[in-house]
Amino acid sequence: MAAARLLLSAISKVFPGVKALDAVSFDLLPAEIHALCGENGAGKSTLMNILSGNLQPDEGEIFLHGEKVVLANPLSAQNQGISIVHQEKSLVGNLSIAENIFTENYPVKTGGFIDFPELYSRTQKLLQTLNITSLDPRTKVESLSSTRQQIVEIAKALAKNPKILILDEPTAAMTADETETLFRILRELRQKGTSVIYISHRLTEIFEIADRLTVLRDGKYQGTFPVADMTIKSIIRLMVGRDLEEQTYTSQQQKNILLSIKNLCGHKFHNITFELRAGEILALAGLVGAGRSEVARAIMGIDPAEKGEIWVQGKKVIIRNPPDAIRYGIGYVPENRKEQGIFPEMTLADNIAVTSLSSLARKGFIQNNQVFSPVQKLVEKLQIKTPSIQQKMINLSGGNQQKALLGRWLMLDPSVLIVDEPTQGVDVGAKAEIYQLLRALAAKGTAILLISSELPEVLALSDRVLVLYNGTLTGELSREEATESEILHYASGLARHSP
């Protein structure tokens, strides 16, 4: 075995009262893709923060190419050849791709003036090495899709010529196609000798891309294994410390139609027609940008449709804004929790009560105890982990935030619930709990419209799958017919198979 490029030996990090990392060791070989797995709170971020110079370990040593180093701050980590692509976007929207990539080291002419021709040609070269020629370095970042932005993020990290590249949840918002592009880039980097540390909640990806994997649980090292020796089940057992209950599927679909959409047309979708029955989980699949969320937003009255009809429980209704939709018993858990879902600085109780303020109030006045008891019950039912319901939302983990967003609608007991990417950036444990929750809702008779870019999720949950391509419905698949390749087939706009 080749000598390790990076070796972390018995790293411990103690935050007062808790050992975030307990004698964790980790080694990274030259030209390998090494996956780091663990639930939220397992210590992955602490470890990556130590590697990128944001935090200092209390105990343990770091060796780079066999030499002991101290990564005193992010700059020193960069100078030693370690670059990190964080989960949070670090790009400035109204600056060009080139300016974003070279933020910290603009090429300059005498007098400190920016050498724009040089800047653009360097960017072009960099993008070429990533095999991306379709991007103009002058394009403003805000006009790019989120995947393209992610690629710019990676280019930015690569501009520093790192020996070690750390990627934290890079595919959280990507579709299968886009993930494939990213993987191609990563494989090429590996071929050129770059070592990659890859963090993802999507375990299937690890099998596709990684050579080895290391598992952390509760700050403790669980072992490093060649990916070929592992299965998803064995990884989960190491991450969670137990087997997750097998999820069994039984259809809860009933006869009565709760929501019926007829020839709905909007800015980004045309002639959408479907019916949603009580107890049914109907998935709306398709690539990002296919118009899935737009359909949901039209049903909810956020961006009302231009043409077409919406029928709720057999009655034609007109929905002009979200309050209208809520009145008709429709709820919506939006994608992108941070931006559209949570009230970060408000309490968990406030976050859950927002939809039902008027019904919780007496004569318009609302007191904490009126809110607290129903919220408390819900928090227990959903198993939201929090010291108190008066905890600020921002301090909860992603999975718990997502459960709270579902709870917000459960307070109203809607007859139709639209969930848009309900498990984005959520760890496996919480994911399983959210699946169970959605199934339980369906069993109670709620009709669920599921929008998801994760095909395994679509296949696991739904009774029926509708596929959108470029704003039109291209296919409908029953649970029995639906497979990943079948969905992808329609999602890429190909015509129906001839039998």
- Residue 320 sits in the site that holds another protein (CB under 8 A): no
Between 231 and 388, name the residue whose CB sits nearer to another protein.
388
Q: Which amino acid is at 9?
A: S
- Please report the DSSP string for 429-445 in residue order: HHHHHHHHHHHHHHHTT
Q: Which of residues 30-59 bind another protein (CB under 8 A)?
A: 41
- State phi, psi for 296 to the nearest 5 degrees: -60, -45
Pick the piece of the chain touching another protein (CB under 8 A) from 23-31, 113-121, 221-229, 386-394.
Answer: 386-394
Structure tokens at 160: 């520093």
Count H helices and E strands in the chain, helices first. 17, 20
Binder of another protein out of 6, 326, 379, 438 (CB under 8 A): 326
- Residue 365 sits in the site that holds another protein (CB under 8 A): yes
- Residue 385 sits in the site that holds another protein (CB under 8 A): yes
Binder of another protein out of 232, 357, 440, 443 (CB under 8 A): 357
Alpha-carbon gap, residue 142 to 149, rounded angstroms:
8
Q: Which of residues 269-308 bind another protein (CB under 8 A)?
A: 300, 302
| Contacting residues for 272 by C-beta, under 8 A, at least 6 apart | 261, 263, 264, 265, 295, 308, 468, 472, 473
Binding residues for another protein, rule CB under 8 A, total 47
- Residue 422 sits in the site that holds another protein (CB under 8 A): no
Under a CB-based contact definition with an 8 Å cutoff, are residues 156 and 101 in contact?
Answer: yes
Pick the piece of the chain touching another protein (CB under 8 A) from 84-92, 334-342, 464-472, 483-491.
Answer: 334-342
- Residue 243 sits in the site that holds another protein (CB under 8 A): no
Pick the piece of the chain touching another protein (CB under 8 A) from 78-86, 267-275, 356-364, 463-471.
Answer: 356-364
- Residue 382 sits in the site that holds another protein (CB under 8 A): no
For 193, which DSSP code? T
Q: What are 476's strand-pairing partners? A: 466
Ramachandran assignment for 479, one of left (phi > 0), alpha (psi -120 to 50 degrees), beta (any other): alpha
Alpha-carbon gap, residue 419 to 426, rounded angstroms:
14
Q: What are 312's strand-pairing partners? A: 259, 315
CB 13, min distance to another protein, A = 11
Angle at 131 (CA atoms; ends 127, 137), nearest 5 degrees: 25
Relative to beta strand 281-286, strand 464-469 is parallel
- Residue 361 sits in the site that holds another protein (CB under 8 A): yes
Binder of another protein out of 95, 132, 240, 244 (CB under 8 A): 240
CB 407, min distance to another protein, A = 12
Q: Which amino acid is at 289?
A: G
Pick the piece of the chain touching another protein (CB under 8 A) from 85-93, 175-183, 268-276, 315-323.
Answer: 315-323
CB 245, min distance to another protein, A = 14
Residues that bind another protein (CB under 8 A): 15-20, 41, 218-219, 240-242, 300, 302, 321-323, 325-326, 332, 334, 339-346, 350, 354-355, 357-358, 361, 364-367, 385-387, 391-392, 395, 397, 408
